Amino acid sequence: MYTQGLDQQGSQDNTEHANADREREAAFQARIDGEEKIEPRDWMPEAYRKTLVRQISQHAHSEIVGMLPEGNWISRAPTLKRKLILMAKVQDEAGHGLYLYSAAETLGTSRADMVDQLLDGRAKYSSIFNYPTLTWADVGAIGWLVDGAAIMNQIPLCRCSYGPYARAMVRVCREESFHQRQGYELMLALCRGNDEQKRMAQDALNRWWWPSLMMFGPSDNESRHTAQSMAWKIKRFSNDELRQKFVDTTVPQAEYLGLEVPDPDLAFDEESGHYRFGAIDWEEFFAVLKGNGPCNRERIEARRSAHEEGRWVRDAARAYARKQAKRAAAQAA
Amino acid sequence: MTGSIDVRAAEPRLEYVLRLADNALVLGQRLGEWCGKGPALEEEMALVNFALDLVGQARMLLSYAAELEGAGHSEDDLAFLRDGMDFRNLLLVELPNRDFAFTIVRQCLFDLYQCGLYEELQRSGDSRLAEIAAKASKESRYHLQHSAGWFVRLGDGTAESHQRVQAALDRIWRYTGELFETDDVETALVAEGIAADPAVLRSEWDNQLDRILREATITRPADDGMASGGRHGRHTEHLGYMLAEMQFLQRAYPGASW
């Protein structure tokens, strides 16, 4: 009797909770529909919080891992000016990583936890960075195509419903569009150069084109997260819409460079005003996602070894800070 | 442009400017290697920031050197088309980075040197050098603040970090004698009021270093078996590999513009 009574009591509580949750969720959705920003102290559904932590931390990890393929060419940049531009760019990526980690921290997950998740393989980062940078032209192709695709994805995020993320993205987008122009300018210099340089540029486009299209994620009917993220206004356009926009913008840029887009099915459709493009090899996409891209292991190993080799430095900094605090306390006493 | 540029018989002012330029370029190149490897993101950014400043200084100095040379070369020609025997940098800056302790200790010793040097050069009778020095001096002071901060933090941190810093300083010490060497080129330029006097720089460097060492609880090594030769193009084996990597594209595709 007694236990049954408790059970009944409990289920009544649960119903009340469920009702309260439904009301809060409705109020939350109403704020989102009214284009209000959600701030860290506001109530939010757990799933909203989880989705954002996943997305923002993935984005931060992508910035950090993305430093590796480009950093690969810092020591070999062909002029001092190009070396400066590349170093400054890679530094910007580190900066983006830092403020994205900060934005994610406002949701109650620490940067240390997020980094652990990256290092032990639980968290993902953009698959594009699992491709190698084989020639100097790859530095240009990354700026032009990868940053170009990133901007398409990220500009709508400046209006994302979560305030700290939206605000971080305003600055990220400004810098990314600068990087995109620098990358294109690098490609232009190669395409106006000698035959060997043009060959380098074409080879880079051949290798980076399809992975860039894959950056927008699976096709809309395959994408697991799209519908809910759209309702929450974390996402504003579907993967396929953004991919189409990228193709429409980028193909004329390739033509201006005098490069050939490696897609025999690519054609301009007068009626719709869009470029129609060939089928994406999703098997390759999922293979890279699974860890079998050309550089997945190398990228994670590089981050792990930086983390491991830096452990004694971080320990020393903490030990020194403790000593200093003790000294200050002793002096005050 | 094919082959290597030979600037061995440079007139004193060109010689001096190339020495300054090569120090900045070679250390900038080394620091850039930290990208993706730092002990924390913030530190990686700081080290690459220093690399940016140093390569920026190298560009100004190499452009000036190219003007002084008057042979139609550019800053990039001088950076990418000279062979090791024509590089005038101190041996200290070409040494491989090794661990973070070594990088920080080297940086701190070099920053102390640059701070004194560029402080003096702001009053150089050569107005171009004085202008470059004004910018480099500001940057060096900022770098020193950072590197000295880490020198102390690591020296007085854990037993491991202390040991690493002491080992790094012991290893590097023999490359510090060269900082204050002088030769006919510099003696003549000091007399003209163009170059900084190494003897003056030395005492201030010693004083400041002793203060940092005390705070870091690190022991100053003995001056023994000091290495030399960088100013005159006689380098360690490390420089050749660095240049092979740095100059690869310019060497592989002669005459291309990038």
Task: Report the percent of chain B where pLDDT is more than 90.
Answer: 96
Mean pLDDT, range B55-71, rounded to an integer: 97
Which listed CATH number (3.60.20.10, 2.30.30.40, 3.40.50.300, 1.20.1260.10) goes with B12-176+186-252?
1.20.1260.10
Contacts of A186 (CB under 8 A, 6+ apart): A82, A137, A139, A140, A143, A144
Is pTM beyond 0.90? Reply is: yes
Q: Which residue numbers in chain A have pLDDT < 50? A: 1-8
Has residue B2 got a pLDDT over 70? no
Specify the pLDDT at position A11.
58
The DSSP secondary structure of A269-290, one letter per residue, reads: ETTTTEEE-----HHHHHHIII
Using CB atoms within 10 A of its CB, is residue A23 exposed (0-12), middle (13-18) or buried (19+)?
Answer: exposed
Distance CA A247, CA A242 (A): 9
Distance CA B221, CA B168 (A): 11
Specify the pLDDT at position A223.
76
Long-range contacts of B228-232 (CB under 8 A, 24+ apart): B228/B91, B228/B177, B228/B178, B228/B181, B229/B91, B229/B178, B230/B87, B230/B88, B230/B89, B230/B90, B230/B91, B230/B92, B230/B94, B230/B178, B231/B19, B231/B88, B231/B90, B231/B178, B231/B181, B231/B183, B232/B88, B232/B183
Beta strands A267-269 and A274-276: pairing type?
A: antiparallel
The domains of chain B are located at 12-176+186-252
Specify the pLDDT at position A10.
52
Q: Which residues of A touch B33 (CB under 8 A)?
A: 74-75
pLDDT tens for each residue of B132-186: 999 999 999 999 999 999 999 999 999 999 999 999 999 999 999 999 999 999 9
Contact A320 B156 (CB under 8 A): yes
Contact A74 B156 (CB under 8 A): no
pLDDT tens for each residue of A104-155: 999 999 999 999 999 999 999 999 999 999 999 999 999 999 999 999 999 9
Contact B35 A84 (CB under 8 A): no
Closest Cα in chain B, distance from residue A290 (Å) = 23
Closest Cα in chain A, distance from residue B14 (Å) = 20
pLDDT tens for each residue of B208-247: 999 999 999 999 999 999 999 999 999 999 999 999 999 9
Name the token pair of A160. Answer: 């994302």
Using CB atoms within 10 A of its CB, is residue B150 exposed (0-12), middle (13-18) or buried (19+)?
Answer: buried
Q: Which residues are B251's β-sheet partners? A: none
Specify the pLDDT at position B105.
98
Which stretch of A228-237, B71-80, B202-211 has the lowest confidence by average pLDDT? A228-237
Specify the pLDDT at position A220.
85
Q: Least CA distance to A97: which residue of chain B?
A: B41
How far apart, in Å, are the Cα atoms of A105 and each of A53, A54, A165? 8, 12, 11
Banded pLDDT at B93 (limits 50, 70, 90):
very high
pLDDT tens for each residue of A281-315: 999 999 999 999 999 999 999 999 999 999 999 99
Contact A81 B154 (CB under 8 A): no
Q: Which residues of B touch A190 (CB under 8 A)?
A: 258
- How many interface pairs between A and B have CB atoms less than 8 angstroms apart? 132
Specify the pLDDT at position A176.
94
Please tell me which of the candidates A91, A189, A317 has its beta carbon nearest to residue B45. Answer: A91
